[in-house]
Structure 1
């Protein structure tokens, strides 16, 4: 199995909800660069991540699906 091992300058995690999303951006040394609860909208997200777009990896955190989906 092949794994993705490329290193990046910034890493972003997004915990998405209906009306808000928690966005956390870390640098390659695990220092927090951005950590806020923002409005769920494309414009708000782009404003938050724009300073880091030169080398950013984004992960989306899905809410718990519950046992009926297992």
Structure 2
């Protein structure tokens, strides 16, 4: 990482799963907004981690992860 690169955020495994599912749906080189669209459309209240997505901090974390890269928490 260079001095000007943003620090990668750390996300839960289930969020990484959402992102990876979106990539399968749209193809590996996915535009960030398509990932957000997929998560917004396909993660619903039947998903066990749906409540995580309702939190504004977590929404910002998801956006940051998609744009700047991320690591999955241990």
Fold shared per TM-score above 0.5: no
Which TM-score tier does this pair reach, normalised by the shorter chain?
under 0.3
Larger RCO: 1 or 2 (CA < 8 Å, sep 6+)? 2
Q: Which structure: greater helix fraction?
A: 2
TM-score (norm 1): 0.27
